[in-house]
Structure 1
Amino acid sequence: MGIGRVVIAGAGLAGLRTAERLRHLGHTDPITLIGAEPHHPYDRPPLSKTVLADPESPRPPLREADYADLDLDLRLGTRAEALDGDRVVLTTGAVTFDHLVIATGVRPARPALFDRPGVHTLRTWDDCAALRTELATVRQLVVIGAGVLGCEIAATARGLGLDVTLVERFDQPLAPVLGDALGAHVAGLHRAAGVRVLCGAEVTALKGDGRVAGVELADGTVLPADLVVVAVGSRPNTEWLTGVALDDGVLCDRTGATATPHVWAAGDIARLPHPWAPGTVRFEHWTGAIDLANTVAANLLADEPTPLTAVPYFWTDQYGRRLQALGLPTPTDEFVVVDGSLESGKFLAHFRREGVVTGVAAIGMPGPLARSRPLIGHPAP
């Protein structure tokens, strides 16, 4: 017996991979895939790197095979507006489901201070196309926020020859994710490439009549800017949801199931119990979206759902180097280089808390990093 119609709200990586996995596992009932953008699903990571750098680069597809092979009710350019019992209300009507997978993702945080011409965020293909058009016409760029996205944009712009300033309110780039020691190493990569890196800096105002012309910091410094990119985090797209538990995302267990019967969550929007510590976590990275999508698809068809067991992983490419990380470390975890050195630019490092390995990071050592995966969440060797 089939499970009926599965409606997937969100046609990004998690939504598409859920649909693909359902078909691969033998689901033959209808699947409706709803996407707010008019484009077929595309790959987001290149938007801050190779695609941003090349004006001729096309939108990177997530699927090369024909969509007809998936036999989807594909509804692009339509947005989920409300959840009404077993119906998803859309901007173009409504669809009834037997099972719903919420995968509507996140959007960039954009404080009101940054609502001005010449200020960009980067999330979608249209964002990328607009930003790369402007990058070709300006000289001075200020990037606000030195997380993964902000650092990648700064590196790409510097590679294009722009004068780039990277502003971060924490003590180092990536500090909330990987701590100060590794963050300082990343800051050094940017400085060596000619980027001005300002940490512990708060933006208080934008300068210019109409279009932005500068960025003012709390200490009174004014940074000249022909263009500003804001990369200060994200907000889950949950406003359309009622009857589902929310907390900076959609609360679900490690099978992907919410407390609402027949409703699941996948991708950036899903907030799951931490795998080895108290509390919950939302993991906004490419592999995490795939891992949970595959788990949800399998559990939709299973008699007994199984929890997600994949170890979180992410990477970032900057200046020809790939920084890779496993696990869920915190900024206060002990940081121990176990092979190579930060100075050499090639290393493997462990994050440890109370004797447990909470994460592993590496540059230039992909093999040792991969072999470290079984250590995560277990006592340090």
Structure 2
Amino acid sequence: MQTSSTVRPPFPLTVWLARGRHTGPDPLDTVRRTLRRLKDAGTIDDFLEPAEAEAEDAREQVFEARWRVPEGVTVRARLTVVAEAETGPEWVLAAEADRPWDQGWPSPATVFWPDTPDAEWDHDVPTGLRLRDVNRLPEDDKAMRRLFRDAVRGSWNIHVVVHEAMTPDARGRKPLAQLFPESLRHRVVEHRAAPQQLRAVNWALKEVGVQVPRGGAVVLPAAPGASRHGGDEFAVRSVFLDGSQPSDLVEVLTRFTAAQRPLPEGAGDAVTALREQWRLLSLEEELARERALVAMYAEALDAMTQSRDLYREAAERAHEALTAYRETAAALPVPEQPSSPAATSPFQQLTRTLERLKGARTKDAP
């Protein structure tokens, strides 16, 4: 497997991230109706749909929402829906709290999307698999290897491989995500391996550096090129598929989300947009922003005033120096200029010529 040499920033512990594809109709209308319903019910404090770009071919639509979780912690979330004609619209959701994220808090996904079985928003982008369902591994070994490679390379979600020690009953065939804490339910893609697939699964997993125990589960690495799991650090020896809560698996997933790991490719832009382009402000935040603007303008005005004063002082000093130079130059004696010989008139030239001729005749007389 090729690995990237680019060092990505670490995953902030205050941030919840997800990315998916919507395969149903009218995703924007679905988001609007969900937000309006939650606002009317008091579940969220407020939401905002910033004005669409003026261009008719605008491909992105942004939604913002703010709500509070237990202990009065404020959560801000930004959903971006990107139009995609062939495979369906893709969406990116970034949420951030005022303190490290608690997996027991409500899932930000259900603030924007309906949490109903028939909702078609929960498809993982690189693999196409669903987040809230059991995804059976393919029988073909190469297809299985390719699936794991795609999951590690391009997914923002957490991929976990679960091996069935024996064929489960109806309760065990249900998605384990239903038993996870709320904020984990919509970040985990569950791959399910049949009892006879254990050897093929572990052969395919060698490429990503992990192995799944018989009847257990393992979390795939966060990204290629990142530090891979050491041994069974994020593996579970036994997962009981009997409808009971998989406590060991939940503990491993929670520890995985809190571990130091790089942000997925492109996720840094989503976090930056959430922090720097946020527009849904509360009254207190509006006042704080206005105060900050007033302080910034006051500093700028003070800097301009200081610059003006410095410029005026420099101009005055330059004028004083020029005046002193002129006074000094006026007090110095003017040097005498060498006189040029007077011009000789034609009459004087004629007189001199006659005198020379007269002298010459006197010398020649006997």
TM-score range (shorter-chain normalised) is under 0.3
Query: More helix by proportion, 1 or 2?
Result: 2
The structure with higher relative contact order (CA 8 Å, sep 6+) is: 2
Q: Please give the TM-score of this superposition, normalised by the length of structure 1.
A: 0.21
Larger radius of gyration: 2
